[in-house]
């Protein structure tokens, strides 16, 4: 870490690569942090580790896919991770921070600071397409994209119906405004009768 890293190719914000790290893939070539690694390689690796950390409440998706992960930088071997919680005071925040610390440490990064950034606030639009797909596969209805709705139900104050992740029916009803976590609501499908969780729009 105290070596004059060869190619300083943008020390802070490299090219914004949106490579979705798929779960099964194990990143190869894991060198020990600072062991002859260039600054950009170090940053790449730290970013990959941070991106692959899953959400403790929605383990089907990663922090990157949820849009919680805002930034990863490395300064003199010290990793700074910036996250934005889905909800103010989201109880998972401490767990997320702990997971980031642990997994980065296991990857050879001893010094890690997790910063919490509240503005701009997280919205459900920050969830990536891959994140939405994975949530649906896990039986959790992803939030509806903002300002798009071909089927108005005619209910005042409501947006499009939440489609059932199992059968796709729009004939669903809210069972409880809060599911297992603050970020989830419990719905039930009238077509197939199955209850399901839904990531609330914000
Ligand atoms: Zn259904």
Confidence of residue 142 (pLDDT cuts 50, 70, 90): confident
Between the CA of 100 and the centroid of ligand 1 the distance, in Å, is: 36
Partnered with residue 199 across adjacent β-strands are 184
Between the CA of 170 and the centroid of ligand 1 the distance, in Å, is: 8
Residue 6 has pLDDT above 70, yes or no: no
Predicted pLDDT of residue 90: 60
Between the CA of 95 and the centroid of ligand 1 the distance, in Å, is: 32
How large is the average pLDDT for residues 99-114?
95
Between the CA of 40 and the centroid of ligand 1 the distance, in Å, is: 47
How large is the average pLDDT for residues 156-172?
76
Confidence of residue 80 (pLDDT cuts 50, 70, 90): very high
Give the integer Cα–Cα distance in Å for 118 and 101.
20
Give the integer Cα–Cα distance in Å for 23 and 34.
26
Between the CA of 63 and the centroid of ligand 1 the distance, in Å, is: 28
Residue 120 has pLDDT above 60, yes or no: yes
Confidence of residue 68 (pLDDT cuts 50, 70, 90): very high
Q: What is the pLDDT of residues 42-58, one digit of tens each?
A: 999 999 999 999 988 88
The full set of domains in the chain, from first to last, is 39-116 (3.30.300.130), 127-149+158-199 (no CATH)
Between the CA of 138 and the centroid of ligand 1 the distance, in Å, is: 14
Between the CA of 165 and the centroid of ligand 1 the distance, in Å, is: 7
Predicted pLDDT of residue 202: 60
**pTM of the predicted protein model:** 0.63
Predicted pLDDT of residue 162: 85
Predicted pLDDT of residue 168: 86
Predicted pLDDT of residue 131: 93
Mean confidence (pLDDT) of the chain: 76
Exposed, middle or buried, 55 (CB in 10 Å: 0-12/13-18/19+)?
buried
Q: Which helix (H) or strand (E) holds 45?
A: helix 39-52
Between the CA of 122 and the centroid of ligand 1 the distance, in Å, is: 29
3 state SS of 85:
coil
Residue 13 has pLDDT above 70, yes or no: no
């Amino acid at each position: 870490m105290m070596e004059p890293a060869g190619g300083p190719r943008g020390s802070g914000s490299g090219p914004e690569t949106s490579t979705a790290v798929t779960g099964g893939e194990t990143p190869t070539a894991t060198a020990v942090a600072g062991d002859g690694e260039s600054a950009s390689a170090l940053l790449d690796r730290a970013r990959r580790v941070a991106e692959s950390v899953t959400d403790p409440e929605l383990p089907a998706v990663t922090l990157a896919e949820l849009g919680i992960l805002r930034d990863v930088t490395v300064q003199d071997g010290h990793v700074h991770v910036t996250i934005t919680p889905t909800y103010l005071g989201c109880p998972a925040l401490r767990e997320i921070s702990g997971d980031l610390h642990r997994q980065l440490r296991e990857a050879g990064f001893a010094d890690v600071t997790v910063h919490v950034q509240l503005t701009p606030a997280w919205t459900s639009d920050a969830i990536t397409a891959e994140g939405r797909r994975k949530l649906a596969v896990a039986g959790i209805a992803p939030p509806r994209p903002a300002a798009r709705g071909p089927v108005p139900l005619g209910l005042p104050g409501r947006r499009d119906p939440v489609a059932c992740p199992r059968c796709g029916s729009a004939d669903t009803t809210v069972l409880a405004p809060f599911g297992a976590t603050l970020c989830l609501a419990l719905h039930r499908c009238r077509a197939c009768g199955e209850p399901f969780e839904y990531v609330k729009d914000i």
